[in-house]
Chain A
Amino acid sequence: MKVRTWVRDLLLTLLILAVSFAVVVALQRAFDTVAVAPMVFVMAVFLVSRVTNGYVWGIAATLISVLAVNLAFTFPFFQFNFSPPENVFSAVVMLFVAAMTSALTTSLKAQERVRAEVGREKMRANLLRAVSHDLRTPLTSIYGSCSTIMENYDSLSKEQQVKLLGEVCDEAKELSRMVENLLSVTRIDSGEVAVKKTPTVLEELVDTALVKFRKHYPDQHVEVDIPESFIIIPMDPILIEQVLINLLENAVCHAAGMTRLTLRAFTLGDRAIFEVADDGCGIPRERLEGLFSGNLVRAPAEVDGGRHGMGIGLSVCATIIRAHGGDIRAESKPGRGTTIRFSLKMEDAEHEQQ
């Protein structure tokens, strides 16, 4: 990774300098003047400092530019001559531009990083708050049911015991689903590494997600609409599967009055688009805003009605899709239903895998 950025910076620097050199030569041919040479190279130094990392490349470009201008484009030609004060002056100007631009670029990049870090931190904090709240419900039920059985083993009828144990089982499954979501997020947040993408067959992804979804909601029919052709998309399949399951589950848990649930996927240019659409109650506009940021979780419980905090699943989805360099959006009309759509890039298939 380090070596790659180094090579990239070197190539960019050489390219920009070469182009500048060519431009000056061309101008010299056309107008028989070298007066523009310092200006063109100042521009080159500026560009190099802007597009590369750190100070090194800008300074290097400055030195090369000063030499080039002095040697090739300043009288006396093809001799070093620093005696005319304007030559020294243009060298100083270029150095100054390089230093300032590099400093500016570096601080800009640092600022972007800080902003991204703050955003991630905030999202994580929201998630954590939501999760610790949501973990408590199933835990309370599991703990309560188990201790009820243990303490009243002889007085409880067999049916009562089986009923309580069944609840323990259900709640434990619920817990494990939540933990799965958390695991997904830690998988992304461990370091700044982007997700590890492997070429994944669209049909296999959709199939796996549906099989898992059906395990939890055997009665919910899902209409599936995906292309007939063989499509491979680079992704972390476990994470995207998690996104699809979350979106389907969200519809089941929150789209009151839903009669149709659709999972659609298609390609559009260099992107694969996935859509989960329901025709349920919809999401009010004021809640649509914070849908993917985890802010929703703290919304008053009575609005929600359901037992699950809705924000967790969706903010996990957003985290996953963004880590893939994709985009996720929600469209909703109260009373008409909600469509959540995300896109993934298709082209960066990297090296073919393993």
Chain B
Amino acid sequence: MSNNKFKILVVEDEANICSFVETLLVTNGYQVLTARTQAMGQSLFLSHTPDLVILDLGLPDGDGLEFIRAVRARSAAPVIVLSARTTEQDKVAALDLGANDYITKPFGTAELTARVRAALRSHHQATGAQPDGKFVAGGLTIDYASRKVLIDNQEIKLTQTEYNIVALLAEHSGRVMTYTSIVQAIWGETDPGSTKKLQVNIANIRKKFGSRPGDNPYILNELGVGYRMIEEDLARK
């Protein structure tokens, strides 16, 4: 029995989508459970304690948001939301309830597996203490111990706040972080102007990183939702 595989619960009512997601995940070496309704998903979650949940937001027997709430009441297992809806409010609501990431339908297979990897990895990291060591993604290197950021081996001078934002995004690399969650982590509180404060900081960081619109390789925009740091280079770990 090969039970060292990560166990993934897929809750999705569309049979075709369920089938290809299952095939894809199994091919990538995960163990997969599928549920077609929210009720079934909840009972599978309780009986099998999966390592990750992929959840469709529009289920026939109730809002997916309730499912997230139920999962979060018991477990910290990452939840990735599949959403056919294009409105940012739904995504933000799901993320703020405790979902770890989202993918908008239709999505490519590479996108899905990358998100699954990122969610599993950052979940297992987050259980440890303060990150130490280094973060490397493409030309970007963050040295957590000395609080230094390098791009192509050139040191980038960041302010305290800017460094904190970059480090926070790097700790959750590959995953989207909402404006609210970043603001809370950096400033501890939210007020009406805080999103703008964050956006100004990000703009300054990008300038220092030498990013240009359309050529913005490290901190990706999720318009209306938040920001996402690119995935850490896998070769290192």
Tell me the A residues contacting B by CB distance below 8 Å: 172, 176, 180, 183, 187, 198-201, 203-208, 210-211, 214, 222, 224, 226, 230, 232, 237-238, 241, 351-354
- Binary CB contact string for chain B from 110 to 149 against chain A (1 if under 8 A, 0 otherwise): 0000000000000000000000000000000000000000
CB closest chain-A residue, reference B195 = A353
A352 to B183, CA, bound (A): 15
CB closest chain-A residue, reference B203 = A230
- The A interface, classified by DSSP as helix, strand, loop or mixed, is helix
Say yes or no: B193 contacts A204, CB within 8 Å: no
Q: Which of B88, B180, B202, B214 has the most chain A CB atoms closer than 10 A to its own CB? A: B214
Is B73 interfacial (CB 8 A cutoff)? no
Cβ of A348 to closest chain B Cβ, rounded Å? 16
CB closest chain-B residue, reference A239 = B86
A180 to B105, CA, bound (A): 10
Is B237 interfacial (CB 8 A cutoff)? no
Of B29-37, B64-72, B162-170, B216-224, the one touching chain A = B216-224
- The B interface, classified by DSSP as helix, strand, loop or mixed, is mixed
Say yes or no: B106 contacts A224, CB within 8 Å: no
Say yes or no: B214 contacts A207, CB within 8 Å: yes
Cβ of A149 to closest chain B Cβ, rounded Å? 16
* A180 neighbours in B (Cβ, 8 Å): 86
Say yes or no: B224 contacts A238, CB within 8 Å: yes
Is B199 interfacial (CB 8 A cutoff)? yes
Say yes or no: A204 contacts B192, CB within 8 Å: no
Cβ of B51 to closest chain A Cβ, rounded Å? 30
Is B200 interfacial (CB 8 A cutoff)? yes
* A204 neighbours in B (Cβ, 8 Å): 199, 202, 221, 223
Q: Which one, A198, A203, A238, contacts B213 given CB within 8 A?
A: A203
A270 to B223, CA, bound (A): 23
Is B212 interfacial (CB 8 A cutoff)? yes
Q: Which of A187, A201, A206, A226 has the most chain B CB atoms closer than 10 A to its own CB? A: A201
Q: Given that A172-B106, A199-B196, A232-B196 are contacting pairs, would A224 and B214 also be in contact in the complex, using a CB cutoff of 8 Å? A: yes
CB closest chain-B residue, reference A210 = B214
Cβ of A168 to closest chain B Cβ, rounded Å? 13
A206 to B223, CA, bound (A): 10
* A237 neighbours in B (Cβ, 8 Å): 88, 223-224
CB closest chain-A residue, reference B107 = A176
- Binary CB contact string for chain B from 170 to 208 against chain A (1 if under 8 A, 0 otherwise): 000000000110000000000011011001101100100
* B193 neighbours in A (Cβ, 8 Å): 352
Cβ of A292 to closest chain B Cβ, rounded Å? 23
Say yes or no: A351 contacts B192, CB within 8 Å: yes
- 3 closest Cβ pairs, A-B complex: A210-B214, A352-B192, A207-B213
A353 to B220, CA, bound (A): 21
Q: Given that A172-B106, A200-B223, A203-B203 are contacting pairs, would A226 and B196 also be in contact in the complex, using a CB cutoff of 8 Å? A: no
Q: Which one, B86, B203, B214, B220, contacts A201 given CB within 8 A?
A: B203
Say yes or no: A210 contacts B213, CB within 8 Å: yes
CB closest chain-B residue, reference A206 = B213
Q: A208-B223, A352-B196, A354-B195 are in contact. List 16 more A-B contacts (CB 8 A).
A: A187-B87, A198-B224, A201-B199, A203-B206, A204-B199, A204-B221, A206-B213, A206-B214, A207-B221, A211-B220, A222-B214, A224-B212, A226-B213, A232-B196, A232-B199, A353-B192
Q: Which one, B86, B106, B192, B224, contacts A187 given CB within 8 A?
A: B86
* B212 neighbours in A (Cβ, 8 Å): 224
Say yes or no: B214 contacts A211, CB within 8 Å: yes
* A353 neighbours in B (Cβ, 8 Å): 192, 195
Say yes or no: A354 contacts B213, CB within 8 Å: no
Cβ of A47 to closest chain B Cβ, rounded Å? 37
Say yes or no: B200 contacts A354, CB within 8 Å: no
Cβ of A120 to closest chain B Cβ, rounded Å? 21
* B87 neighbours in A (Cβ, 8 Å): 187, 238
Say yes or no: A230 contacts B224, CB within 8 Å: no
